[in-house]
Structure 1
């Protein structure tokens, strides 16, 4: 079209936009152009879609300069708004309040927090059936369990269910949708040395949200962790106590689970009960012993270990969750073994861990199969391929970590009356482990250009040195003089590695590393190290154990035995 004066209009210049090579996963999946704006691109912001981004791997030059993948890791930590008192007139419609007391703290809405896993868009949390009930509904208690005919595998768990559900607990004002978002975006990454996509707890969450019983226990954990995260203490909130009560009520009705999915739900429930009780101010030995006995009775009755090692891979019915259910069961089985062995050090349980240690070949097979869980994810979720999966990239250090968990529980048994030959065998196994995996210890122990150990390697080596001290001190008091050469060497290496680990990444929810700090603090007699350990032990139960044991150690001339530690935990010391 020509203008009025007859002069032809100049041709419109062509705009070279270039091809988008680093767009968000949402735009890439739709095969549309992405403006690559962070944290949310223009198209996703306009359509209200979840804008997901692939974790990029640092260049080789950056890694050689010492800025390894851990410092570039996208932790996707969600930082909530501070807690503020909320008046009745300002209550929001999108927050469900449970057991709310007048003057209790409110929590800002978390439902807008979007987890960043590529699977997040296909796992919408439908929690309408599990939302917290009004305060009047919480007055109903579980009732007298002696009047309830319970399954045979629950008979050992009576003390476990002595929960005073009618106790009036303060409410944080959080709802279940917020609790799930917190669990996925904050808790799961903090309990792992991995990116959020490869966190085992995020994997468990994706397979729990459609399991009614396990979901109640998960919500009990999540509401409790929100309160701890906000500095409200480790006493369970009204929301957490409500879901614990509902989960118990449903669990005692599980009579004859047959399907693999049913066993997975019960085992997940056991795991979340461990997570719930391990985060209290003090460890409760009777409760953990009952929980361990319950897990053992269930595993024996239904042959869970045989189901885990079944050669036939059983696919899940949901195509979204591509991980076979027997692989997931192996993963949960391994985590339960880890938790029970950990608690056994404090004389809190150990029956289930003892049973697993009786058959090392089966436990190794279960562990190997559990590591294939993330290899079953859809290929479009694996980023640059299988080499980006931690099970492939860190296979050697993962094997060392699992061996240390097994050795740790063997020392638990040895410290309570095992033969001297068993101590010699454990000592030789630790020596062989260090010799065969010398490259891992070299990367951690030598600070050289181009050597940048991962957080998992640092945590594993710290645990190794702590286990060596534990073995040597299982028959003699911690801090006893003169200090054996092997203890002095292990303590020096543990101090150095622990300092590097804490400066490298988030370790406040890694129980094995927290235990390593406890061993460090009880072995050393340096007040400076005592203060440093006290500051860096973030787990409230382990910190309380350290405080009580340190006082006893000072009263006894700078030494404390493992037996005395266990007596103090049980309240007998």
Structure 2
């Protein structure tokens, strides 16, 4: 055996000591083992480093067992919840070694964490009988964001990448799967539209990164603005991948529309200075829908009685995918209608509402999205739940459709008197129409226990009253400019505020999000300062809150702010622009 090579001119003398300093061991020289600094390190002016105190294996295991797991972001699920398979199957570790989840899984579920261990599944409460109907999914996981470089060509070109998730990203997915109030929904998470979007994310890098960006941003916002994970990294990469997807002639419309939805969820919680404007988002959606003729594919209005067209539609998009696309389009329409009022969007909403029956036809297609997706696996109790809530959600949809209709009429308020009377008649007829009339009765219930049906009824009726106030403000005449007149709108505002207070008494943060638009209009028509303060405290939508503060300041002299001024205020409510609003108010006064 040849002698070891010399190190720094000194011949090696035998094998290195297993108990020497770490510095000598790294240099492959025999350590003299003098402490605290051995002679070799002292002579060469090296940092002499030693191992810590040796801890026996038995003691190390006991210490590890005593460590508590990370605090969960959501409470443990109950055993009675329905199931949804999120990510069972074949995660590949970041090393690219192709190690399947079955090599490390514990029980039915488990996520391979960044350290190669298995993280406890958020669905450990599910039994195998419930899970068996669902086919396993390949889970497209992002790389650990601490090490990710957005310029990494391999990551950008090969997504979806089957690599590991960080602990924060696991918690974000766990939160997304369990949170019933995320977005618009109050549906059982396992059988919701968001559960379907999770499946979409398992195959799409753009959707996955934007889903994580939205969820991580939501968690940070609810924790009081604290930073949680790398939402910005996911957001930037998701945007880039979405742009690449949209540029492809073979882009998947479900992937693109799902990405639009998560872009909205990100934007509603980001600081205003970091936001992509709703106008930009509206333009993106409108251009994509028009370029791919999705408004024709999704709507049945043009296909009634035309078998040739129906065949072409079914060939272009299966019924379940068309229903899912229609549902996403309807949700985004609602958002765009509100943004249009604020002067931030409207192109997409205008496009979808332009065809005969337009958005109402689209809504009809969207109603079966869940049942068509899950097919025979969709539980009977979930189908019953859909039927029970159908009237409340239909009322909600009609209110947003009429909001957009008024948006189109009030570029230069006030609203044409004849048009205003027509809208008022339709509003009154909508309230009397059965079974929507029953939704109003449910909203009037004083019960403190408000289940999903009652919560949705509260939401829909609150939106209806907000629409009434919006219509009134757009039709405002000079004799209605002062508070306390005989227009009865103050009665509507009082009923709306009582309804909101009753609905929010359940401390449902999801319901609070859903009632931001009605809160804004209740505040505009409320002269009582104590009630105004309560409303402002409940406003989590910063843009609407800032706008309401400025409007209340202008109305402090007892004169209603006209609709043109309200819209201008809503367009300028951030940062230094607030100073310009104050100066504008002085000029306006």
Do these two structures clear the TM 0.5 threshold for a shared fold by scoring above it? yes
Per-residue CA distance 1:334-387 (angstroms, 9 max, x = gap): 111111112112111111111222125232222111110121244664433565
CA distance in 2: counterparts of 1:177 and 1:139, whole angstroms: 24
What's the counterpart of residue 427 of structure 2? Answer: 430
CA distance in 2: counterparts of 1:303 and 1:332, whole angstroms: 15
CA distance in 2: counterparts of 1:238 and 1:515, whole angstroms: 30
Classify 1:121/1:228 alpha carbon distance in 2 versus 1 (closer, same or farther; 3 Å).
farther
Count of residue pairs brought into register by the alignment = 440
CA distance in 2: counterparts of 1:551 and 1:376, whole angstroms: 50
Q: How does 1:107-118 map to 2 (within 5 A)?
A: 112-114=121-123
Classify 1:451/1:498 alpha carbon distance in 2 versus 1 (closer, same or farther; 3 Å).
closer
* SS of equivalent residue, structure 1 residue 485: coil
What's the counterpart of residue 11 of structure 1? Answer: none
Q: How does 1:47-66 map to 2 (within 5 A)?
A: 48-49=107-108
- 1:94 shift after superposition: 4.3
What's the counterpart of residue 285 of structure 2? Answer: 295
- 1:492 shift after superposition: 2.0
Per-residue CA distance 1:220-248 (angstroms, 9 max, x = gap): 11111121122125xx8661111121122
What's the counterpart of residue 351 of structure 2? Answer: 355
What's the counterpart of residue 57 of structure 2? Answer: none
* SS of equivalent residue, structure 2 residue 357: helix
- 1:481 shift after superposition: 1.9
What's the counterpart of residue 26 of structure 2? Answer: none
Classify 1:240/1:116 alpha carbon distance in 2 versus 1 (closer, same or farther; 3 Å).
farther
What's the counterpart of residue 32 of structure 1? Answer: none
- 1:407 shift after superposition: 0.7
For structure 1, list consecutive stretches of 5 or more residues without a partner in the other structure: 1-21, 27-45, 52-92, 97-108, 142-172
Residue 305 in 1 paired to residue 305 in 2? no
What's the counterpart of residue 227 of structure 1? Answer: 220
Two-structure CA RMSD over aligned residues (Å): 3.9
Assess if the C-alpha contact under 8 Å between 1:458 and 1:501 holds in 2: yes
What's the counterpart of residue 560 of structure 1? Answer: 561
What's the counterpart of residue 418 of structure 2? Answer: 421
Per-residue CA distance 1:136-156 (angstroms, 9 max, x = gap): 725889xxxxxxxxxxxxxxx
- 1:333 shift after superposition: 1.1
Residue 266 in 1 paired to residue 230 in 2? no
What's the counterpart of residue 442 of structure 1? Answer: 441
What's the counterpart of residue 307 of structure 2? Answer: none
Residue 365 in 1 paired to residue 361 in 2? yes
* SS of equivalent residue, structure 2 residue 201: coil
* SS of equivalent residue, structure 2 residue 508: coil
Between 1:362-371 and 1:412-421, the stretch displaced more is 412-421
Larger RCO: Structure 1 or Structure 2 (Cα < 8 Å, ≥ 6 residues apart)?
Answer: 1
* SS of equivalent residue, structure 1 residue 175: helix
Q: 2:384 aligns with which of 388, 391, 397?
A: 388
Q: 1:202 aligns with which of 195, 198, 204?
A: 195
Larger radius of gyration: 2
CA distance in 2: counterparts of 1:388 and 1:280, whole angstroms: 37
Per-residue CA distance 1:234-292 (angstroms, 9 max, x = gap): xx866111112112222232365555x71111122122212211223438898221221
Assess if the C-alpha contact under 8 Å between 1:192 and 1:510 holds in 2: no
Assess if the C-alpha contact under 8 Å between 1:316 and 1:324 holds in 2: no
Classify 1:304/1:511 alpha carbon distance in 2 versus 1 (closer, same or farther; 3 Å).
farther
What's the counterpart of residue 192 of structure 1? Answer: 185
CA distance in 1: counterparts of 2:554 and 2:133, whole angstroms: 53
Task: Name the TM-score, length of structure 1 as normaliser.
Answer: 0.67
